[in-house]
Amino acid sequence: MKTDLASEHERSGVAGDASLAVDVHGLTKRYGELAAVDGIDFSVGQGEIFAFLGPNGAGKSTTIKMLCTLAHPTSGRATVAGFDVSTRAKSVRRHIGLVFQEQTLDDQLTAGENLQFHAVLYGVPHREVEARISRVLELVALSDRRKDLVSTYSGGMARRLEIARGMLHTPKILFLDEPTVGLDPQTRALIWDDIQRLRREEGVTIFLTTHYMDEAEYAERIAIIDHGAIIALDSPDVLKASVGTDTVAIETSDDEAALASLQRAGYTVERTGSGLTAFVADEETAVGPIVAATGVPVRTVRAHRPTLDDVFLHFTGREIRDQRGEAVPMMARARGARRS
């Protein structure tokens, strides 16, 4: 019965599980000797915000290119919006929106003209084009710049226009390759607002890549990719929990006494180099009670919650922010390479 259904699907070019936006099995892309993407498996549910997180050269763009039918997989299988990327390329393209890592606007045209062009390329019915253009410009707050040439846009505005354009033909899945790379923090925040608004109001599935750790937090699930392989995949909270709990580190005038009173108060506490470390469920709410329960004067308090940096470090033994994808010794981290 099940096999019948599967072969039926294959014949019509529709393969895999239709309830999944993206379904990938053993996907591999080789460039000569190099396996840019090395047998990855994952799936993305409809309406999810799913992030690929990894350093430059990890294989993020290559994965996106295969999913968007711009590169042929060396082996493995992928379905996007229910269509096999190898056999139903055109159908896949019709159902996805795509924002490349590099800009692809015509800056001698206005924003409206760029969108008009896109609407025609993607067969948006003539009578819907106007409404749709107004709608997507509204979604990224560029309605008042519609008649301006793209050459007058800032980098952030151009990016947001590209996101709007990617949504114009009402795709099922929007692929964003490093949507915030090279932008200032405010603009990055705006783009994240856009992305969340799109998902909320248009119900689109979002697949994005980034090498910014802090950004991946916004995603519902994250696949951490390194050297072409997925090394961890789950929600940010689960990933962070997997590398340890929140901690509150304190230094007191009398660590011995403090240790005793904290243990009496029910905390799990350990002696560490220069003081004590308490392991807690939520560092933010634990700081106050811990200080109060110490019973002796507290000199310093440092609360820490595991970040995705810690997750990446945990699984790879190196820092993600190294741009060439080479190992950064853990020393660098100890010396305080931590950002913000």
Ligand X SMILES: Nc1ncnc2c1ncn2[C@@H]1O[C@H](COP(=O)(O)OP(=O)(O)O)[C@@H](O)[C@H]1O
Strands 173-177 and 96-99: parallel
Nearest to 148 by CA among 105, 199, 113: 113
Q: Which is nearer to another protein, 60 or 240 (CB)?
A: 240
Which residues, 155 to 174, sit near another protein by CB under 8 A?
none
Q: Which is nearer to another protein, 124 or 290 (CB)?
A: 124
120 sits near another protein (criterion: CB under 8 A): yes
Which residues, 53 to 82, sit near Mg ion by CB under 5 A?
61
Which range of residues in 26-34, 180-188, 225-233, 264-272 is near another protein by CB under 8 A? 225-233
20 sits near another protein (criterion: CB under 8 A): yes
Partner from ligand X, another protein, Mg ion, none binding residue 226, C-beta < 5-8 Å depending on class: none
Q: Which is nearer to another protein, 56 or 103 (CB)?
A: 103
Closest approach of Mg ion to the CB of residue 57, in Å = 8
Q: Which is nearer to another protein, 243 or 296 (CB)?
A: 243
Do residues 180 and 127 touch, judged by C-beta distance below 8 A?
no
Which of 15, 21, 22, 36 contacts ligand X by CB under 6 A? 36
74 sits near ligand X (criterion: CB under 6 A): no
Closest approach of Mg ion to the CB of residue 156, in Å = 19
List the end-to-end C-alpha distance of the chain, in Å, as a whole number.
Answer: 56
> Would you list the DSSP string of 18-31?
TTEEEEEEEEEEEE
**Residue 338 vs residues 88, 89, 188, 307, 320: alpha-carbon distances, Å:** 45, 43, 20, 11, 11
Nearest to 164 by CA among 185, 183, 190, 184: 190
Token pair recorded at residue 292: 């109060």
Identify the sign of the CA torsion 106, 107, 109, 113.
positive
Rounded-to-integer distance, Cα 284 and Cα 132, Å: 44
Task: Please report where in the chains the tokens 């994240």 appear, as a residue.
Answer: 192
One-letter identity of residue 317? G
Closest approach of another protein to the CB of residue 126, in Å = 8
Partner from Mg ion, another protein, ligand X, none binding residue 40, C-beta < 5-8 Å depending on class: none
117 sits near another protein (criterion: CB under 8 A): yes
315 sits near another protein (criterion: CB under 8 A): yes
Q: Which is nearer to ligand X, 61 or 110 (CB)?
A: 61
Partner from another protein, Mg ion, ligand X, none binding residue 147, C-beta < 5-8 Å depending on class: none
> Would you list the DSSP string of 66-95?
HHTTSS--SEEEEEETTEETTT-HHHHHHT
Which of 61, 110, 114, 205 contacts ligand X by CB under 6 A? 61
Closest approach of Mg ion to the CB of residue 324, in Å = 13
Token pair recorded at residue 318: 């190196």
Nearest to 78 by CA among 168, 207, 164: 207
Do residues 21 and 48 touch, judged by C-beta distance below 8 A?
yes
Q: Write out the residues near ligand X by the rule CB under 6 A.
A: 31, 34, 36, 54, 56-62
Q: Write out the residues near Mg ion by the rule CB under 5 A.
A: 61
Q: Write out the residues near another protein by the rule CB under 8 A.
A: 9, 12-14, 18-20, 41-48, 50, 68, 70, 81-83, 90-91, 93-95, 98, 100, 102-109, 113, 116-118, 120-123, 126, 221, 230-235, 238-239, 242, 314-317
